[in-house]
Amino acid sequence: MTHNTSPLAHQMKARDREMVPRVLVVAMFGLMLASLVLVSFARLTDQPLRGVPAVSEVVREMPITLLGSNSDGVAVLDASGQQIAHSDQKRAGFIGVIWSSVIRQRQRYGITENTPLQLQRFANGHTAILDPATGWSIELIGYGADNVAAFATLID
């Protein structure tokens, strides 16, 4: 039985084989292997960590509670329960992003209480948020000036 295939079918088979050239696939795996070798060497020879921010002293700290929902936005409450910020305010949407992260982390640990977070200011000027209930923390570096300011202005 002869099987006739059209020239278009041959062209499509050839094109599909060449979508990702073999040399790029080999280069990708070579890069992964080189990375693995470098990291293994660094760990086995106890090389010091590089590119890690220096530990800085906490100079200010305040408890905050995030309260809200995806549809209504998220309010930031101080220790007395007064609203000091809201994710619906201009350039404060990052509050909702942090709230989502905290909720997700607490769900992983089975924590249902909405216990306060700690908003921290370090001597180096950085701002961080710590969840004592789960141990989760985030140092607000590299998220953009408006996003960092959504929390940094609360502790200044």
Gap between the Cα atoms of 95 and 119, Å rounded: 12
Q: What is the pLDDT of residue 105?
A: 96
Distance of alpha carbon 61 from alpha carbon 119, whole angstroms: 6
Q: Would you give per-residue pLDDT tens digits along the chain (156 residues)?
A: 556 667 777 777 766 666 778 899 999 999 999 999 999 999 999 999 887 777 899 999 999 999 998 889 999 999 999 999 998 887 778 999 999 999 999 999 999 999 999 999 999 989 999 999 999 999 988 888 888 888 888 887
Structural domain boundaries in the chain: 7-44, 58-155
Q: What are phi and psi of 63, to 5 degrees?
A: -80, 140
